[in-house]
Amino acid sequence: MPEQDVQKLDFAISGMTCAACAARIEKALRKLPGVSQASVNLATERAHVEAAVPAVTESVTAAIAKLGYGAQLISPETRLPGVDAGQDGWKVVCAALLTIPLVLPMVGSVFDWHWMLPGWLQCLLATPVQFWLGARFYRSGWKAAVNFSGNMDLLVAIGTSAAYGLSLYLLFRHPDHLYFEASSAVITLVLLGKWLETRAKRQTTEAIRALQSLRPESARVRRDGQEFDISLADIRVGDLVVVRPGERVPVDGRILEGASHLDESLLTGESKPVKKTLNARVTGGAVNMDGVLLVETLAIGAETTLARIIRMVEDAQIAKPAIQRLVDKVSAVFVPVVLVIALLTLLGWGLHNGAWEQALLNAVAVLVIACPCALGLATPTAIMAGTGVAARYGILIKDADALELAHHIDYVAFDKTGTLTEGKPVVTDVLTAAIDATTLVSLAASLESGSQHPLAQAVLEYAKQHSIAYSIANDAQVLPGRGLQATVEGHTVFFGNSRCMHDIGVATDMLEVQAQVLLQNGRTISWVADRIEGQGRLLGLLAFGDEVKPQSKAAIDHLHRLGVKTLLLTGDNPVSAQRVADQVGIDEVYAEQLPETKARVIMGLRQQGYVIAMVGDGVNDAPALASADIGFAMSSGTDVAMHTSAVTLMRSDPLLVADTISVSRRTYNKIRQNLFWAFIYNMIGIPLAVFGQLNPVVAGAAMALSSVSVVVNALLLRRWRPDSKEQHE
């Protein structure tokens, strides 16, 4: 379906308790007419829906409400809630105060202290825990049951009701053998586990909340010579915004007056303030350090860099990697299977020895220990923590699949200009063949006057410095991978590499010796030629120098330590390309590559079974970025490059590529650890419960611990520190 016809909507979901809930909502949403994609994230309690029909909001909220959950449409600018330390905490405290007197006798028996509360008092303490503080389990479990599905709350409700009901029966038959402490302790422990889990879970969204906090609520604008504060929502493109020292820049814009240092650390991960002067671009969210700035607004709202960063991080946290989709399939059948196991446990013990009381307790233990909550949290919490900490250091990962795949990378292919080099070439030499140097530079500047290519900017800067006038070329045409051609003063002029000269039939022999010397010195050569009455003629050449970034060699060395091979894909000449490769330690070089041949090199390696990443920043890198398994785009590059890449590096620092692989490996390890613990609790706990070796109280504690341990383990990712940070310090 056409991209413009697709609505992308986000909903806040309330009432989810485990992976089964998320899977059930997701399944229902995907059945709605016009919905092409639906993803529900248990950790963020959000649903992302893509639909091709105009009025889908009501049908989505109705479908979710039918399942027994709440849904509210939210905008991309909606801020995530902060951590409310008191939320539901009072319920845990009340449940604990009522449960402790019931559990103390059981603890005392370990030390040979035999005493017990009267049965009526036990019932009095357990009843409010079961039906008041535990009411949420009944509500959620009932909604699941009437929709012919199951969730964690249904297991807890059935298990604790069985223990409470058995105790109520025995109260009138054998008051010396009651199990009120089991039902109350399980509910208390589950409430405690959910409270701790909620607090820990919200910490995984800290990165997004930190980014959202960068948005000021208002801005000071200058209109008709007057300055006044207005809401950020009322600012329009073209407005003049005054930013005083200590304030955050409210919009993306261009400096018209003033100069200052800006702190962009939360946007780019760069800890050092950046000097900004007249006409420099500024990004909303940066802190103005020392000067008063007058900024012309160029982007507002969802179009600002900060909004796009937040959207990228949120999209990555919503998306599900392949491993999570497998877990969802397991979770979908988990609760029904557990109910069957619990029933078989009850019947097996009861029919075997007639001890139906013990049989019921064993079945309760099965129901309580088998919680799919940890399974549902294992992957999304790790993904959220991984993408969040990466964003903090200037690595924006667009989707979870890229984060999962990055740890498999075998090869990283680099573009040269602007990626491994500074991307700010300067004209070092001007050699003429048929015209004088001033005319040669004037022609080259005329051709490049409408281009944003780094070499074009170098030519125009050289013309400006030497006061060389130039005209605007007509009929300018890009020759991909070769150069430019245009009409200047009535005749066709070409400006490009040796391949371009060969294609138009112009010999370069006259300057070939000098050109080879320049190439040996690491210069990039661009030839100038014209065609009059069908006859091609060499006019001269311009040589460019571009310094290698200080971090490039360290980046390649780091990739080699990670076991990743590197290659250089560039349209530059072989001599210049090899010189850069030797400086930084690149393994393989592919020079004089067109955009389409770069993509073919990438595809060739992929067909051999390798996982390939491509790093670039220009329009000519877009085909290769799209062809690679993972594309890395420098934020200093073009929008086309960033749109076709899976990872955007907010600083033009090649060290961030290795850091991305590092955080991917760390995140994937956390996912595997979490899934191991989530499964191991059940693989050990369920058999123990089936064979009567697990008390329901211990089962409740283990179940609560499983969810909390998974989230806490994921939160350890927040301690990750990139190697590039150490290189800069």
The model's pLDDT over 564-585, given as tens digits with 9 standing for 90+, comes to: 999 998 887 788 888 889 999 9
pLDDT tens per residue across span 673-689: 988 888 888 888 889 98
Q: How far is CA 108 from the centre of its chain?
A: 51
**Residues annotated as part of the active site:** 415
252: its two tokens: 């993306």
Q: What is the DSSP string of 446-494?
A: HHHTT--SHHHHHHHHHHHHTT------EEEEEETTTEEEEEETTEEEE
Percent of the chain with pLDDT over 90: 17
In this predicted structure, what is the pLDDT of residue 76? 56
Q: How far is CA 528 from the centre of its chain?
A: 45
Mean pLDDT along residues 376-390: 81
**The length of the chain, given as a count of residues:** 729
Residue 617, classified by CB atoms within 10 Å of its CB into exposed (0-12), middle (13-18) or buried (19+), is buried
Which of the four pLDDT bands, split at 50, 70 and 90, describes residue 427? very high
- Cβ atoms 552, 584 nearer than 8 A: yes
- Cβ atoms 616, 415 nearer than 8 A: yes
Asked whether residue 71 carries a pLDDT value surpassing 70, the answer given is yes
Number of neighbours of residue 235 by Cβ within 10 angstroms = 19
Closest CA to 195 of 707, 581, 648: 707
In this predicted structure, what is the pLDDT of residue 429? 93
Q: CA distances (Å), 257 to each of 27, 72, 235, 475, in order?
A: 55, 44, 19, 36
Which of 321-335, 478-492, 622-636 has the weakest average pLDDT? 321-335
Which of the four pLDDT bands, split at 50, 70 and 90, describes residue 639? low
Q: Which residue has the tokens 């369920």?
A: 686
In this predicted structure, what is the pLDDT of residue 728? 44
Please tell me the distance from the alpha carbon of residue 416 to that of residue 450, in angstroms, as a whole number.
22
Q: Is 659 helix (H, G, I), strand (E, B) or coil?
A: helix
- Cβ atoms 477, 485 nearer than 8 A: yes
Please tell me the distance from the alpha carbon of residue 486 to that of residue 144, in angstroms, as a whole number.
69
Closest CA to 406 of 636, 628, 206: 628
Q: How far is CA 404 from the centre of its chain?
A: 11
In the sheet that holds 395-397, the strands lie side by side as 395-397, 647-649, 630-634, 612-616, 411-414, 565-569, 588-590
Please tell me the distance from the alpha carbon of residue 674 to that of residue 668, in angstroms, as a whole number.
10
Which of 87-96, 312-321, 594-603, 659-668 has the weakest average pLDDT? 312-321
Please tell me the distance from the alpha carbon of residue 366 to that of residue 684, in angstroms, as a whole number.
11
Output the CA angle 419-422-423, nearest 5 degrees.
75
Q: Which residue has the tokens 């303490």?
A: 125
Mean pLDDT along residues 23-52: 83
In this predicted structure, what is the pLDDT of residue 612? 93
In this predicted structure, what is the pLDDT of residue 1? 41
Number of neighbours of residue 278 by Cβ within 10 angstroms = 10
Q: What is the DSSP string of 202-271?
A: HHTTHHHHHHHTTS-SEEEEEETTEEEEEEGGG--TT-EEEE-TTPBP-SEEEEEE--EEEE-HHHH---
Asked whether residue 3 carries a pLDDT value surpassing 80, the answer given is no
pLDDT tens per residue across span 179-212: 787 788 878 877 887 787 677 666 666 666 767 7
Diameter of the chain measured on Cα atoms: 114
Looking at residue 701, its amino acid is A
In this predicted structure, what is the pLDDT of residue 86? 47
Q: Which residue has the tokens 């019932």?
A: 123
- Secondary structure tally for the chain: helices H, strands E: 26, 26
Q: What is the 3-state secondary structure (H, E, C) of 693-709?
A: CCCHHHHHHHHHHHHHH
Task: Tell me the pairing of strands 252-257 and 260-263.
Answer: unpaired
Which of 289-298, 364-373, 530-539 has the weakest average pLDDT? 364-373
CA atoms 592, 595, 597, 600: torsion sign: positive
Q: What is the 3-state secondary structure (H, E, C) of 178-216?
A: CCHHHHHHHHHHHHHHHHHHHHHHHHCCHHHHHHHCCCC
pLDDT tens per residue across span 436-486: 999 999 999 998 887 777 788 889 999 999 999 998 888 888 887 788 899
pTM equals 0.69
- Cβ atoms 23, 33 nearer than 8 A: no
Helix crossing, 19-30 with 373-392: angle to 10°? Answer: 80
